[in-house]
């Protein structure tokens, strides 16, 4: 449908509008509208698809994850997780950098967001690291790369976006389970790298935390960790849907932040909610417009044509996965994660199914890959936030980024080609 | 002192933010309540899902309009960043015109969608009309259009000045 020009108008129009600096969500809507006019689809149908896109109960998990994460971040959990991580790794050489990575692993399990992680953990640890004599760019790069664990380690609102973009055929619980090992692998890879750099540069050691103090710190952090138990446990054991567990997590996080940690006051809530609304509405409208865009792609049979194209290049699974990874890494350098998941998933899912890759496995590959994009210049939101906190230029951080980037790339390759790394846990825990 | 039009837009912006923020909080409470009724009172709340969806639609569309004014939508300025003088102005005016077009399409065809679905109801909770829920679409289009006009006439709004809010893009991921 639409001949050869229809797909050019849709895809080419999108990239042209994005290049002009039109917000990505509206660029998706405009290109879908232009293509629908070209092939004679009534615009009411496009508007209906936009509404249908957000008229979906499963997607309500996204605002709740973001709100629960914000409540925990502003409500005092970040500093408690930093202190908790300090018990385990603070005493070794480069201890503060290790604490940064481990705290991000813990915090990622709560917020599910790389940017929230960078701003919360980074605001505490980057100034501390600089005071202790760590190099500025090193401090920022450890923070931003370790924050990408939050995208993979459950819960992750990007997993919900992927499950939606995959047409609801992928289980959110399975995606959560599949993210555990790859998420931890990023942390371990960064810790090995940090140990090597810390040893070479003679970065300082911290002090061992006394047992009594360690018990007190752990008890304080446990209240925050229960958020993860509620969300992940609720979804995996089928007690709640993802949306329900996220709503319960919001109520729990609110009670903890307001009444247990007492680090959030009523007067703080309007500002906190303002930040949450800006993030959530931006993602949800993106999903709405992306639904219309995906509808037009399906009408024009673009996913089928892309599959055909990939299979003419090669029918080798390893080669196709490498081509997809390279394509996503390049796209990730220029565009944010949510829009890329929404645009690329419907196009690439038929390709990866045709070569026998599990869509759950592919979900982890795409999230890991686009997570690397978040820290890669020229456009990387996590990189920008980290540099702003560390008060260094993008160039300064980018020049020292390559060892971290390489460590993450190695993890991406391992997760892509050694399927059991992601898929063993989901296969073991099938309900 | 800010021009009257800008002050009116400030009010609309804060109303949109408040509607969206309250919608998220109410949704969390409603869904939490439905879990409580299911497990503790052993009876489901059939109304929780349709009401939450109706609120989510309002939150999305009115929140998105506010996001436009707060410059919180994801966009890529990599290619236009290097432009200077008239070329830069031309590029940003072009974006404004494109935003006007998409806003007008949301209003015009959104009204059509509201008319078509006005008498439809959600099967689980027949007190909510689908058309009323979808009125957020032309509503959001109208507010976005007003914000685009503000930007065209008075330039980007200075939200920092009176609220301490950031006009930098909100980021997620």
The partner residue sitting opposite B31, judged by closest CB among A20, A56, A247, is A247
Distance CA A112, CA A272 (A): 17
Tell me the chain A residues in contact with residue B75 when contact means C-beta distances shorter than 8 Å. Answer: 18, 21-24
DSSP-derived secondary structure letter, A171: -
| Residue-wise pLDDT tens digits, A116-152 | 788 888 888 999 899 989 999 999 999 999 999 988 9
Radius of gyration of chain B (CA): 19
User: Per-residue pLDDT averaged across B79-86, rounded?
Assistant: 81
Instruction: Note whether A279 contacts B: Cβ–Cβ < 8 A.
Output: yes
Omega prior to B36 cis, within 30 of 0: no
% of chain B beyond a pLDDT of 90:
54
Helix and strand numbers, DSSP H then E, in chain A: 25, 0
- CB contact, 8 Å: B74 with chain A? yes
Label residue A225 exposed, middle or buried (CB < 10 Å: 0-12, 13-18, 19+).
middle
> Which of A47, A279, A285 shows the shortest C-beta gap to B60?
A285
- The answer to whether B51 faces chain A, any CB pair under 8 Å, is no
B-chain residue closest to A337, CA distance? B173
Instruction: Report pLDDT for B86.
Output: 86
The answer to whether B109 contacts chain A (CB < 8 Å) is yes
Q: Which of A231-240, A394-403, B67-76, B87-96 has the lowest mean pLDDT?
A: A231-240
* Top-confidence residue, A278 or A334: A278
Residues comprising chain B, all counted:
173
Preceding peptide of A201 cis, ω within 30°: no
With beta carbons under 8 A apart, name residues in chain A contacting B80. Answer: 19-21
Cα gap A280→B67, rounded to integer Å: 10
Please say if the pLDDT value at position A378 is more than 60. yes
Chain A contact set for B99 (CB, 8 A): 22-23, 26
The complex scores an ipTM of 0.89
- CA A417 to chain centroid: 21
pLDDT of residue A385: 86
Q: Give the global pTM.
A: 0.85
In A, residues 103-162, which contact B (CB 8 Å cutoff)?
A: 113-115, 151, 157-158
Longest CA pairwise span in chain B (Å): 67
- Chain A residues with CB-CB distance to B101 below 8 A: 30
Residue B163: its pLDDT value, please?
A: 46
Size of interface A-B (CB pairs under 8 A): 216
Give the span between the Cα atoms of A308 and B127, in whole angstroms. 48
pLDDT tens by residue, A70-83 = 888 788 888 888 89
Chain A's closest residue to B22, CA to CA, is: A273
The beta-carbon neighbor of B173 closest among A55, A278, A374 is: A374
Band of pLDDT at residue A412, cut at 50, 70 and 90: very high
pLDDT of residue A109: 67
Between A5 and A319, residue with greater pLDDT? A319
Angle between helices A180-201 and A402-417 (to 10 degrees): 150
In whole angstroms, what is the distance from residue A406 CA to residue A70 CA? Answer: 31
């Amino acid at each position: 449908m639409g001949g050869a020009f229809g797909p050019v108008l849709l895809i080419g129009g999108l990239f042209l509008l994005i290049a002009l600096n039109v917000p990505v969500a509206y660029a998706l809507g405009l290109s879908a509208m232009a293509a629908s006019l070209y092939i004679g689809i009534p615009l009411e149908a496009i508007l209906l698809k936009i509404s249908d896109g957000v008229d979906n109960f499963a997607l309500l998990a996204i605002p709740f994850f973001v709100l629960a994460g914000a409540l925990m971040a502003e409500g005092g959990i970040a500093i408690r997780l930093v202190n908790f991580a300090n018990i385990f790794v603070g005493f070794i050489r480069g201890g503060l950098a290790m604490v940064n990575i481990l705290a991000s692993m813990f915090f990622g399990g709560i917020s599910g967001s790389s940017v929230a992680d960078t701003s919360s953990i980074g605001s505490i640890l980057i100034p501390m690291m600089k005071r202790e004599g760590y190099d500025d760019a090193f401090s920022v790069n450890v923070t931003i790369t370790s924050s990408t664990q939050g995208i993979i380690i459950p819960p992750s609102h990007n997993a919900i976006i992927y499950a939606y973009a995959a047409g609801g055929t992928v289980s959110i619980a399975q995606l959560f389970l599949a993210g555990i090992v790859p998420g931890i692998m990023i942390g371990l890879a960064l810790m090995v790298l940090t140990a090597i750099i810390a040893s070479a540069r003679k970065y300082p050691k911290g002090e061992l935390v006394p047992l009594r103090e360690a018990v007190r710190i752990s008890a304080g952090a446990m209240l925050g960790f229960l958020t993860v138990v509620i969300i992940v446990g609720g979804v995996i054991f089928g007690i709640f849907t993802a949306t329900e567990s996220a709503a319960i997590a919001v109520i729990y996080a609110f009670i903890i932040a307001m009444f247990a940690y007492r680090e959030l006051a009523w007067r703080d809530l309007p500002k906190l909610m303002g930040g949450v609304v800006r993030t959530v509405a931006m993602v949800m409208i993106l999903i709405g417009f992306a639904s219309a865009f995906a509808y037009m792609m399906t009408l024009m049979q673009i996913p089928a044509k892309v599959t055909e194209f990939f299979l003419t290049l090669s029918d080798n699974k390893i080669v196709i996965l490498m081509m997809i990874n390279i394509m996503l890494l390049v796209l990730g350098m220029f565009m944010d994660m949510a829009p890329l998941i929404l645009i690329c998933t419907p196009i690439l899912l038929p390709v990866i199914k045709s070569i026998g890759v599990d869509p759950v496995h592919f979900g982890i590959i795409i999230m890991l890959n686009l997570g690397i994009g978040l820290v890669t210049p020229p456009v990387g939101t996590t990189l920008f936030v980290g540099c702003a906190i560390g008060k260094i230029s993008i160039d300064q951080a980018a020049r020292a980024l390559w060892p971290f980037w390489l460590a993450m790339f190695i993890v991406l390759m391992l997760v892509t080609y050694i399927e059991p790394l992601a898929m063993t846990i989901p296969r073991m825990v099938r309900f | 002192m800010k021009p009257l039009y800008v002050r009116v837009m400030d009010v609309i912006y804060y109303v949109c933010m408040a509607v969206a923020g309250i919608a998220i909080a109410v949704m969390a409470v409603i869904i939490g309540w439905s879990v409580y009724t299911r497990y503790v009172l052993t009876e489901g709340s059939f109304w929780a899902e349709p009401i939450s969806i109706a609120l989510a639609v309002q939150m999305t569309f009115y929140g998105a309009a506010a996001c436009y004014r707060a410059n919180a939508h994801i966009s890529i300025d990599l290619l236009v960043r290097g432009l200077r003088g008239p070329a830069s102005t031309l590029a940003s005016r072009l974006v404004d015109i494109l935003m006007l077009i998409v806003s007008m399409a949301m209003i015009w065809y959104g009204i059509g969608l509201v008319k078509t679905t006005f008498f439809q109801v959600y099967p689980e909770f027949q007190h909510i009309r689908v058309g009323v829920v979808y009125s957020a679409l032309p509503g959001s289009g109208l507010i976005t259009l007003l914000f685009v006009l503000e930007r065209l006439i008075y330039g980007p709004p200075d939200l920092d000045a009176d609220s301490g809010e950031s006009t930098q893009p909100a980021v997620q991921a």
